[in-house]
Amino acid sequence: MTEQHTSLGPTIAPPGTRAFRDAGGLPADRWHADQTGETLVPTHCCFCGVQCGMYLRVDHGGRVFGVEPRNHDINRMRLCPKGINAYQQINHPDRLTAPLMRRSRDEPFREASWEEALDFTAAEVRRIQQAYGADAFGMLGGASLYTEKTYLVGKFARVALRTRHVDYNGRLCMVSAAGANKLAFGIDRAGNPFSDILLTDCLLIAGSNVGECFPVMTQYVWGARDRGATLIVVDPRETAIARTADVHVALKPGTDSVFFNAVLHVIVAEGLADETFLAERTTGWEQVKATVAGYPPARAAEVCGVPAEQVVRVARMFAGADKAMAWHARGIEHHSQGVENCLTVINLCAATGNIGRPGAGYGTITGQGNGQGGREHGQKSDLLPGGRSIANPEHRRQICEIWGIDETELPLAGTSMMEMVWQMQRQEIRGLIGVCNNPFVSLPHYATVKAGYDALEFHAQFDFFLSETATNAHVVFPVTVWAEDEGVMANAEARVVKHNKAQDPPPGVRTDTWVLCELAARLGAGDKFAYTGSRDVFEELRTASAGTVNDYYGITYERLEETGGIAWPCPSTDHPGTPRLFEDGRTYHADGKIHLQTVEWHPPADPYSDDFPLSLTTGRTVAHFLSGNQTRRLGGLVEQTPRPWVEVHPSHGFRNGDPVRVVTRRGAETFPALVTEAIRPDTVFIPYHWPAPTAANVFTIDALDPRSKIPEYKVCAARVEAGDAIDPVPAPPTAPGLTAYPETQVSRTDPLPPTAPQGRGTAERS
């Protein structure tokens, strides 16, 4: 009997699947299992800050070939599309397996020996620093590195390079939340574990597309709903999670602090504040109360573009609940007043007494896998291990004693990641080492970033795939993926979890730790970097954090294996960890109180005009992660979301798939339209995982929050107009002699946008 196969038309087939189905055969046709035995290695996902538990399937030859969900209490057998596909990067044909090197950007890359690449890098460091000073060389780390490696990045910069210029890509993620938490509570972490969401009566989620960016966290939201909790979502887009909310506040981007000040105005006016809690547990309440008096619901209606009645309803729901919680993410943090936006949410929780109780509290949802741990132990420009301040003389003395250096040798604070790019342009920084970052895609205002990196006299990059940023380097060091080394990460709850090594790296590949230690030896600091691996580094890190707010001393690899994770602070090996903060009624300020802060709203940095009347906002999509250097190579994820699009309201007159030219003061690109009623008419959205000429960060402005130095990704002035042709999606870069892995690239040619994930599209595919 001959199989009948019907070609699927564009109105039936999901994007990117037509070619696969039309080629003949069902998806599972001819698939078979060929593994006769395997080992399951327990570990965690490498992607977002949920840090789902998983097993990597390892064959009898020691090679990872699959994944199984793990019944870890973070995720309870659930994995998202990225988690399911993550293992495929381990043995991917695009992997870098030899150092790449060139002495000038005019030359092509060539493969080099490790000795040659390391010697050349060390010689360039010495040349630049001897000519221009130690601070003429900089270093940028990453928040997807294991915590041991983030510790080494900070130590290497300050001890081996002796430069003050070190920062990391978490500067683009969590620093606004960190700044607000430290101002209010004296500690930088979420106050409650995920499990407390299951106990709350009212859950407020602000600026977080949980269903796509943190899919497995959705189980906690549904669990709360199942027991009767109300849900409030604050987001310009009606995301999948917003569509199910009791109240969806679709405010105009850049107006968050007006909204939350107005909510607190209603709480004060209607006598709903917990005055006893405020009197006993806070400072600054009278000043905050005086400030929010100037933010009545009518002002929020005018500025935010939401009904005044909605402000009143949110205030009554949140203040009227016995236990209420607020969680937020980049949507309110990626602003030039990101810290202040976060502070208004803290003010709301404190004013209603919702701090430090089961089911009542405040949390920040970490974007990168180690976004929490990555900023705790020294790679941030102003911090030393244990969250110590680099400006504090006693903190400096403590770390110098541990590192075995004189206090005069320890540099002072450096600048932030974006500021370092500006310094590259001015040639104040002439050399750079980058580890686990891809600024050509992830930093705002691409033209500025490219100009800054082009001005570098020398640039080395660590990565396991050739990123867009690495293609601009002089040396690229091929390093391990997460499953080829061991180490710890701290998830969004500040729960430290253990990742385990599942297979050996390919021949020619080294760990980041090994490379940093080899470079340190060549720079005359080898005795300070005599580590054999992650365990040695972690033992030093434990000691370096002892007695600090970020205390890891009581955490050991063995305890993590036994418990599945321990929340810091954990000061001793018999301490259970601290999953919930402030239960004793005290914060980490000397007076033990919550320090409330006044916030006055100011408009976004990029002004609207007749030429640029719309708000452009950016964000993630479920199939991809950050700069896409990993996920744009994984076939199932590329098939699911092959290209970016522009999300526009039907009032603009476009049809799905129409070429739409998006223009800001910094650039213009043309995308297929995804027409949906789930976005404000005055707002457009573009996901940011792709490089130019389809990069959202061609448009974004490099304005910074004055406290956190986070860029204002979430709002810039824009316009849309009919375009001629949709800009093509570039294939990911590959090493010399390789071409982009074809199985992951076919779908990139699909010109149509994906179907609206919110379920509110026009249902037309032109």
CATH of residue 557: 3.40.50.740
Residues 6+ apart with CB under 8 A from 729: 642, 643, 644, 690, 694, 748
Higher-pLDDT residue of 540, 13: 540
Percent of the chain with pLDDT over 90: 90
- Mean pLDDT of all residues in 8-24: 38
Backbone angles phi, psi at 638, to 5 degrees: -65, -40
pLDDT above 70 (res 12):
no
Residues 6+ apart with CB under 8 A from 224: 197, 198, 199, 200, 203, 231
Q: How sure is the predictor about 34, in pLDDT bands with cuts at 50, 70 and 90?
A: low
- Mean pLDDT of all residues in 469-492: 98
- Mean pLDDT of all residues in 663-684: 96
Return the CATH number at 282: 3.40.228.10
102: Cα separation from own chain's centroid: 31
Is the same domain home to 346 and 430? no
- Mean pLDDT of all residues in 690-713: 97
Is the same domain home to 238 and 156? no
Asked if 254 and 714 touch (Cβ cutoff 8 Å), the reply is yes
Asked if 467 and 438 touch (Cβ cutoff 8 Å), the reply is yes
The verdict on residue 732 lying in a domain is: yes
In whole angstroms, what is the distance from residue 480 CA to residue 90 CA?
Answer: 9
The verdict on residue 573 lying in a domain is: no
Task: Calculate helix-pair angle for 297-304, 308-320, nearest 10 degrees.
Answer: 120
pLDDT above 70 (res 25):
no
In whole angstroms, what is the distance from residue 90 CA to residue 481 CA?
Answer: 6
Return the CATH number at 60: 2.20.25.90
Backbone angles phi, psi at 233, to 5 degrees: -120, 130
Is the same domain home to 378 and 527? yes
Residues 6+ apart with CB under 8 A from 26: none
Classify residue 89 by its DSSP letter.
Answer: G
Classify residue 435 by its DSSP letter.
Answer: E
Is the same domain home to 210 and 235? yes
Is the same domain home to 215 and 145? no
pLDDT above 60 (res 561):
yes
The verdict on residue 446 lying in a domain is: yes
Domain boundary among 89, 112, 134: 89
The verdict on residue 431 lying in a domain is: yes
Domain boundary among 533, 551, 567: 567
End-to-end CA distance of the chain: 36
pLDDT above 70 (res 26):
no
Q: How sure is the predictor about 739, in pLDDT bands with cuts at 50, 70 and 90?
A: confident
In whole angstroms, what is the distance from residue 6 CA to residue 196 CA?
Answer: 50
Is the same domain home to 650 and 696? yes
Is the same domain home to 131 and 192? no
For 110-134, what is each residue's pLDDT tens digit? 999 999 999 999 999 999 999 999 9
pLDDT above 90 (res 762):
no
pLDDT at 680: 97
612's tokens: 């640029």
Domain count, the chain: 4
Is the same domain home to 547 and 441? yes
pLDDT at 753: 76
pLDDT at 749: 73
- Mean pLDDT of all residues in 220-247: 96
- Mean pLDDT of all residues in 705-723: 98
Asked if 222 and 211 touch (Cβ cutoff 8 Å), the reply is no
Q: How sure is the predictor about 275, in pLDDT bands with cuts at 50, 70 and 90?
A: very high
Query: What is the DSSP secondary-structure string of 241-295?
Result: TGGG-SEEE-PPTT-HHHHHHHHHHHHHHTT-S-HHHHHHHEE-HHHHHHHHTT-
Does this model's pTM top 0.85? My answer is yes
pLDDT at 5: 35
- Mean pLDDT of all residues in 68-79: 95
Q: How sure is the predictor about 738, in pLDDT bands with cuts at 50, 70 and 90?
A: confident
- Tracing tokens 């209490």 back to the chain, one arrives at 73
pLDDT above 70 (res 760):
no
Mean model confidence pLDDT for the chain = 93
Return the CATH number at 696: 2.40.40.20
Residues 6+ apart with CB under 8 A from 461: 433, 434, 435, 467, 469, 470, 473, 475, 476, 477
The verdict on residue 331 lying in a domain is: yes
In whole angstroms, what is the distance from residue 430 CA to residue 424 CA?
Answer: 6
- Mean pLDDT of all residues in 322-327: 98
Domain boundary among 567, 601, 636: 567
Is the same domain home to 233 and 121? no
pLDDT at 287: 98
DSSP lists the bridge partners of residue 718 as 614
Classify residue 761 by its DSSP letter.
Answer: B
The verdict on residue 304 lying in a domain is: yes
pLDDT above 90 (res 427):
yes
Is the same domain home to 345 and 408? no
Q: Which string of b and e fits 227-263 if b means at least 16 CB within 10 Å? A: eebbbbbbbbbbbbbbbbbebbbbbbbbbbbbbbbbb
pLDDT above 70 (res 759):
no
Is the same domain home to 249 and 328? yes
Residues 6+ apart with CB under 8 A from 706: 336
For 149-179, what is each residue's pLDDT tens digit? 999 999 999 999 999 999 999 999 989 999 9
- Mean pLDDT of all residues in 217-240: 96
Q: How sure is the predictor about 755, in pLDDT bands with cuts at 50, 70 and 90?
A: low
The verdict on residue 577 lying in a domain is: no
The verdict on residue 9 lying in a domain is: no
pLDDT at 576: 97
Is the same domain home to 437 and 518? yes
Q: How sure is the predictor about 722, in pLDDT bands with cuts at 50, 70 and 90?
A: very high
Q: How sure is the predictor about 740, in pLDDT bands with cuts at 50, 70 and 90?
A: confident
Structural domain containing residue 671: 614-748
